[in-house]
Structure 1
Amino acid sequence: MQPFSLIKYGFRIRTRAGLVLDKLMIHGRDHEEAQRKLRQMYRDCEILECVAHHGSVRTPVNTNCKDVPSTILR
């Protein structure tokens, strides 16, 4: 059995009441698991941004196809 590593994901969300929350840090094996945990705590929230933290390296996570061109151009 291989040990799995948890990755820390930083989310920026808008709650259903309209409040914007920055720097919500959630651990997960992958983006989908971290997003599932987030949605358990903040139902009906809108995810504005997601960044994966691998040690000191931060990598933006693309949540939809519209973000792909802007990520490539960086």
Structure 2
Amino acid sequence: MMNLPGKFLYTIRSANGVIVENLQVYGKTRSEADKKIQQMYMRCEIISCNPIQDIRTRVPHLKMQWVRP
């Protein structure tokens, strides 16, 4: 996985066992984002982490066409 600066989407298990999904954290690197998660949720277990693509670089899924009334 590449370490691109941006947002990372996390799913974690907190210290009391609760699953927390869709946590978005900014970091220059994945390790920096991991440190921020560990600071916010002490003794948590990171279940998954995925980089979020910048919306400006994503390719749209739909082709849009303007229609004049």
Q: Structure 2: which amino acid aligns with 1:9?
A: F
Tell me the equivalent position of 1:53.
52
What SS does the corresponding residue of 1:13 show, helix, strand or coil?
Answer: strand
Task: Work out whether 1:7 is the aligned partner of 2:6.
Answer: yes
Stretches of 4+ aligned residues off by more than 4 angstroms: none
Q: TM-score, normalised by structure 2?
A: 0.71
What SS does the corresponding residue of 2:15 show, helix, strand or coil?
Answer: coil
Q: TM-score, normalised by structure 1?
A: 0.66
The aligned length equals 53
Tell me the equivalent position of 2:20.
21
Higher relative contact order (CA 8 A, sep 6+): 2
More strand by share: 1
What are the ranges of 5 or more consecutive residues in structure 2 without an aligned counterpart? 59-69
What SS does the corresponding residue of 2:9 show, helix, strand or coil?
Answer: strand
Tell me the equivalent position of 1:65.
none
More helix by share: 1
**Aligned mates of 2:13, 2:37 — CA distance in 1:** 12
1:14-49 deviations in whole A, cap 9, x for unaligned?
A: 001000000000000010000000100000000000
**Displacement of 1:6 after TM fit?**
3.9
Tell me the equivalent position of 1:42.
41
Tell me the equivalent position of 1:70.
none
What are the ranges of 5 or more consecutive residues in structure 1 without an aligned counterpart? 58-74
